[in-house]
Amino acid sequence: MADYDVIVIGAGPGGYVSAIRSAQRGAKTAVVEKKYLGGVCLNIGCIPTKTLINTAGLYRKLKKADEFGIHVDNAQLDLNQLKQRKNKVISLNTGGIERLFKSYHIDWIKGEATIHQPNEVTVDGKRITSKNLIIATGGRPVELPILPFDKKRIIDSSQALELTEIPKRIGIIGAGAIGCEFSCIWNSFGAEIHLIEMLPHILPKEDEELAKRLESIFKKEGIHVYTGSKLKAAKINDDDIVLSIEVSKNTEITVDLVLVCVGMKCNSDCIQEPLRSALKINKKGGIAVNEKMETGVPGVYAIGDVIDRTWLAHGASNEGIVASTNATGGNKRMDYRILPACTFTFPELASVGLTEAKAKEQGYSVKTGKFLFSANGRAHAIGEPEGMLKIIGDARTDEILGVHILGPEAGEMIATASVAMKLESTVEELAETIFTHPTLSEVLMEASEDYYGMSIHSPAKK
Ligand SMILES: Cc1cc2nc3c(=O)[nH]c(=O)nc-3n(C[C@H](O)[C@H](O)[C@H](O)COP(=O)(O)OP(=O)(O)OC[C@H]3O[C@@H](n4cnc5c(N)ncnc54)[C@H](O)[C@@H]3O)c2cc1C
């Protein structure tokens, strides 16, 4: 008889959620975790970065407090205090998971797992058996061969969270979510930021129109953005680092610190023969699964960053729910169509569904509705009138294909769009929904009305 019904390897947002759901469904469950509960997300990812973003936002506001009728003298940043607060927020969250595990009688086996067989795990030499395995071992940052991490002046996002002082000039290689968020944090704290991206626009996965608008806002805020720019060479001197990039002409940028955030690879090295050959694993280490999170080997599931798909915490958690439901006798599939994403910049950029380019690529007859935050009363009241919302529909049926929001609280607002898409609502149904006034969400209603040329607060179309 197996020791457990379900063993989950890794206690990140994928692993801990699937362990709890497995236990809720009556399975005897254990989690093997070598480092920390909550994984990257709670300890060195989503939660600590958002704690820093929050302070950066507050600091920005304090700097223009006069505008809001408050006179603040000499607001000063205390990085040590900020680090203490960040660590407190982390431990509040990780402590919560430990209590949940106890309440659901989930065993936390502390140690590093290796997996050779579908139904067993070895932890520090001890063999533990299970009817089902859910692999949720996450990922780690990729290093640039021409600029290897030294963890002091060439750093990844984990070291970026621990800086005790903000250098004067910072180079950031890669303008994905992590690069853009740190650009905003450190720019708010007074550093000179050079953000370098190889692809044509920042946040390459996002809708081009909104990403380019964010790029203009970055530039207005003093962030130096170099898109379509490949890092060609790096010279590490005693006092500085010189980055050579190729834009239209060769350019040299001198900085004191470089954050490299050019991508991630999957932590699948713990899977060994004979199981390894039975799984399909790509060059990045990503384990192939179907929409039920099944690997093809009976009883072995994989979720989260280790499957190289969403690279998002809530993606991992949802995949965890699907895997644990299927591992405990249920039948569930992932619906990636309605998976939202948010980059927590100033302002935030959030989206769900297809970009305009992707919708066209997929052969839809695309129609859009747009609305600017500058025409929204609440956005002015809070002093954040920049940004735009774009809704993309199928012109033949008016089905919502995607919603893209660049603006304050976009990360909160996108949930409404996800619900509408989950309920397969049309743009018209969204336009006919009554939104509270004055709220930022009214922008979603107005963009839906604009889709029909009927937005009340947009000028008449010629
Ligand atoms: C700086 C940063 C900011 C981010 N911000 C956001 C955000 O705002 N929103 C968002 O959705 N996503 C964000 N992410 C991404 C998010 O953190 C990840 O997508 C998410 O953590 C993936 O969850 P996971 O459970 O797959 O893996 P992880 O969180 O990586 O957890 C894997 C766990 O497995 C453990 N483990 C690995 N191998 C073994 C082994 N052999 N034995 C035992 N234990 C093992 C690890 O110690 C780890 O705890 C961010 C990431 C970073 C780096």
pLDDT in tens, 130-142: 999 999 999 999 9
Which contacts (CB < 8 Å, 24+ apart) does range 371-375 have? Answer: 371/443, 371/444, 371/446, 371/447, 371/450, 371/455, 371/457, 371/458, 373/347, 373/407, 373/408, 373/440, 373/443, 375/446, 375/457, 375/458
Distance CA 399, CA 420 (A): 10
217-229: per-residue pLDDT in tens?
999 999 999 999 9
∠ at Cα 21 (139, 18), nearest 5°? 10
Q: Is-catalytic flag, 224? A: no
Q: Separation of 94 CA from ligand 1 center, angstroms?
A: 13
1-13: per-residue pLDDT in tens?
999 999 999 999 9
- pLDDT at residue 249 greater than cutoff 80: no
175-193: per-residue pLDDT in tens?
999 999 999 999 999 999 9
351 and 207 in contact (C-beta within 8 Å)?
yes
pLDDT category, 462, cuts 50, 70, 90?
A: confident
CA count, 13 A, side-chain hemisphere, 162: 10
Distance CA 108, CA 93 (A): 16
Neighbour count for residue 216 (Cβ, 10 Å): 11
Distance CA 188, CA 208 (A): 25
103-132: per-residue pLDDT in tens?
999 999 999 999 999 999 999 999 999 999
The catalytic position among 194, 380, 437, 457 is: 437
How would you classify the pairing of strands 126-135 and 120-123?
Answer: antiparallel
Mean pLDDT of 180-209: 98
Q: Which numbered atom of ligand 1 lies nearest the CA of 46?
A: 5
Ligand 1 neighbours, Cβ below 6 Å, are 9-15, 32-36, 39-41, 45-46, 49, 112-113, 136-139, 157, 178, 267, 270, 304-305, 311-314, 316
User: What residue owns the CA closest to ligand 1's atom 51?
Assistant: 45
pLDDT category, 250, cuts 50, 70, 90?
A: confident
Distance CA 118, CA 5 (A): 13
What is the model's pTM?
A: 0.97
Residue-level pLDDT at 461:
80
Distance CA 341, CA 376 (A): 23
Read out DSSP for 225-267?
EE-S-EEEEEEE-SS-EEEEEESSSEEEEEESEEEE-S-EEE-
Distance CA 368, CA 269 (A): 45
